[in-house]
Amino acid sequence: MTRTRIAAVALTASLALTACGGGDDKKSSDDTSGDSKATAAAATGAEQSADDFTFNAPDGWEAKDASAMPSVNFEVLAADPNDKDGFTDNVNVVSDPAIANFQDLDDRADAAKKGLAMLSTENMKVEDPVSLDGDDATVISYTAKVGSNKIDQRQYYVAHGDNGYVVTFSYSEDRPDAEQQEIAESVAASWSWKS
């Protein structure tokens, strides 16, 4: 995975952020760092489906039409329609076959960090891996600058067969870290590969 490719994937997530709006609320002090192993119950919201996988969105979140962003090849895009703080929290999945070249999670994390370093990010942290239906995903969390706003992101980099995917969760900074992590882990717990 080249730096350019991983940066493009991260930029894809940022483009989705721009389309969802921008909030400038600050995160509450309920900032937690800890074990990122999936412990949340599986999400039970609307099923999101692509050719290779399905997962359930968090309760109340809805699939969004990404065709308004033709330069971004989303497999899935779902967002919280009830989020009224100026930025719509969302999850999106893009495919990146180059991820399959990095079966070692540390190597995958290094490649992702190098790519993300090319963007305007801060507070980057490699979290504990999370399993997506038996495939371990590298997890990186960071804050991205989108225009004049800062958005918290958590990305899962997972390889499955000959393909790879980046699952990006994007949140307003005012959503506490523990809640951000729980949402992401609930999606991971509901993830199912079709083959």
Order of strands across the sheet that contains 90-95: 62-63, 74-79, 90-95, 163-172, 149-160, 135-146, 121-132
Measured between alpha carbons, how far is 92 from 112 in angstroms, rounded to an integer?
Answer: 17
CA nearest neighbour of 81 among 62, 66, 59, 56: 62
CA nearest neighbour of 171 among 12, 11, 22: 22
Give me the residue label for tokens 């899935």.
76
pTM for the complete prediction?
Answer: 0.83
Domain 3-22+40-193 matching CATH 3.40.1000.10: the answer reads: yes
pLDDT tens track, the chain, 195 positions: 333 344 445 545 444 443 444 434 433 333 333 343 557 999 999 999 999 999 999 999 999 987 777 778 899 999 999 988 888 999 999 999 999 999 999 999 999 999 998 888 999 999 999 999 999 999 999 999 877 789 999 999 999 999 999 999 999 988 999 999 999 999 999 999 999
